[in-house]
């Protein structure tokens, strides 16, 4: 249990660094696809995929972009876009932000940064658990890797 907690906190830390660098480079503005619900979360999915791939490359030397793994990148974009949308629909992002901003007394910018990083880390950790847990139901594997739906038809 402590290993899972440690790995989760490390992932959030890596995500904070990744999101901070992306914001400093104004990448979210460059990826802005519009104001509709689908476009906002699609943009988030692309951003989170890029950040996640850089984290993976820095941590393990593995990169879907470097390998030109189009299906893997597409799966990550769809999965992380859905996660971003789910966080908004369930208002989990607002709850995390409020705890950090109001309860912990962090600034708005710090609360926003950590909230966005927590969403990205939740996706990375959930995805890893789905991939690494044997006997996962097929529907969960398809949610994590939508491009694999062709294998089940």
Question: Which among 118, 119, 113 has a CA at the least distance from the CA of 24?
Answer: 113
CB 81 within 8 A of CB 45: yes
> Tokens 């990169």 correspond to what residue?
63
**Domains in the chain: boundaries:** 11-22+34-152
**Confidence label for 1 from pLDDT (cuts 50, 70 and 90):** low
Distance CA 91, CA 85 (A): 10
pLDDT digits (tens, 9 = 90+) for 77-86: 999 999 999 9
pLDDT digits (tens, 9 = 90+) for 7-52: 888 999 999 999 999 999 999 999 998 899 999 999 999 999 999 9
pLDDT digits (tens, 9 = 90+) for 102-123: 999 999 999 999 999 999 999 9
**Residues present in the chain in total:** 153
Residue 148 clears pLDDT 90, i.e. is over it: no
Helix, strand or coil, per DSSP, at residue 104: coil
CB 44 within 8 A of CB 88: no
Other Cβ atoms within 10 Å of 13 Cβ, number: 12
CB 37 within 8 A of CB 81: no
């Amino acid at each position: 249990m402590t290993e899972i907690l440690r790995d989760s906190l490390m992932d959030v830390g890596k995500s904070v660094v990744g999101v901070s660098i992306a914001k400093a480079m104004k990448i979210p503005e460059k990826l802005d696809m519009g104001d509709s619900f689908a476009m906002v979360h699609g943009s988030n999915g692309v951003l989170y995929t890029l950040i996640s791939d850089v984290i993976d490359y820095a941590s393990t030397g593995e990169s879907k972009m470097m390998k030109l793994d189009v299906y893997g990148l597409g799966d990550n974009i769809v999965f992380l876009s859905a996660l971003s949308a789910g966080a908004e629909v369930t208002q989990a992002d607002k709850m995390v932000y409020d705890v950090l901003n109001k309860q912990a007394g962090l600034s708005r910018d710090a609360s926003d940064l950590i909230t966005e990083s927590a969403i990205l880390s939740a996706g990375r950790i959930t995805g890893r658990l789905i991939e690494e847990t044997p006997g996962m139901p097929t529907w969960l594997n398809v949610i994590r890797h939508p491009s694999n739906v062709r294998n089940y038809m």
